[in-house]
Amino acid sequence: MPFWKTVSLTAMSRAQWESLCDGCGRCCLQKFQNGKTGKVAYTWVSCYLLDTQTCRCTDYANRSILVPDCLQLTAELIPRLRWLPRTCAYRRISEGRDLAEWHPLVSGDADSVHRAGISVRDKAISEVYVHPEDVEYYAVGYRL
C-alpha cells in the first residue's frame, strides 16, 4: 500500500510530506478575498518566486523570509484552508480522497501533472510582469 493510504498527514515524515505536493503551483497564484462573503477568487498572477515553467518555488528554503505571506501548510491547517485547490494533494488526502492518476506519485512521472492540465504551466504570469493595479484583470474565472 502506498504511504499516503496508510500514514496520516500528521504522522508523515518530512520526505513523505514534501513528496505529496504534486507540483501544480496553483497555491502560488495571487488571490482576492471578498471582504463580505469571505470567498476567495484566484488570478493567473503568480508569486515572483514561482518558476512558471517548472511550477516550483525558486527559493523554497527561504520562502517564509522572502514572502511573509507564503503559508506553511500543516495537517491541522489544511481543513480550514478552503482556498486550497480541490486538486491539491494535501486537501484530497485531508478529505479522505485518493490521489489522482496524474499525481507524480501515482504516475511515476513528474510531468504528468503538466500534461493533465492541472499545473499552472503556460497559464500563469509572474507578478513581476503585472502592475499591482492590474492583477484583478487576470481573474481565473472559475474555481480551481
Tell me the window of 25-33, 34-42, 123-131, 134-142 that interacts with ligand SF4 (CB under 6 A): 25-33
Query: Per rule CB under 6 A, is residue 28 in the interface with ligand SF4?
Result: yes
| Amino acid at the residue 27 | C
In the complex, least distance from residue 93 CB atom to ligand SF4, rounded to whole angstroms:
10
Show the beta-strand stretches assigned E in the chain.
29-33, 40-46, 50-51, 56-57, 125-126
CA angle 136, 68, 80 (to 5 degrees): 75
Nearer to ligand SF4, 36 or 132 (CB): 132
Tell me the window of 18-26, 30-38, 122-130, 131-139 that interacts with ligand SF4 (CB under 6 A): 18-26
Query: Per rule CB under 6 A, is residue 114 in the interface with ligand SF4?
Result: no
Q: How many CB atoms lie within 10 A of CB 92?
A: 20
Count each helix (H run) and each strand (E run) in the chain, helices first.
Answer: 6, 5
Residues 6+ apart with CB under 8 A from 10: 75, 76
Nearer to ligand SF4, 71 or 139 (CB): 71
Q: Per DSSP, what are the bridge partners of residue 57?
A: 50
Tell me the window of 7-15, 20-28, 32-40, 123-131 that interacts with ligand SF4 (CB under 6 A): 20-28
Nearer to ligand SF4, 36 or 68 (CB): 68
| Amino acid at the residue 119 | S
Binding site for ligand SF4 (CB under 6 A): 21-28, 47, 49-50, 57, 63, 67, 70, 85, 88-90
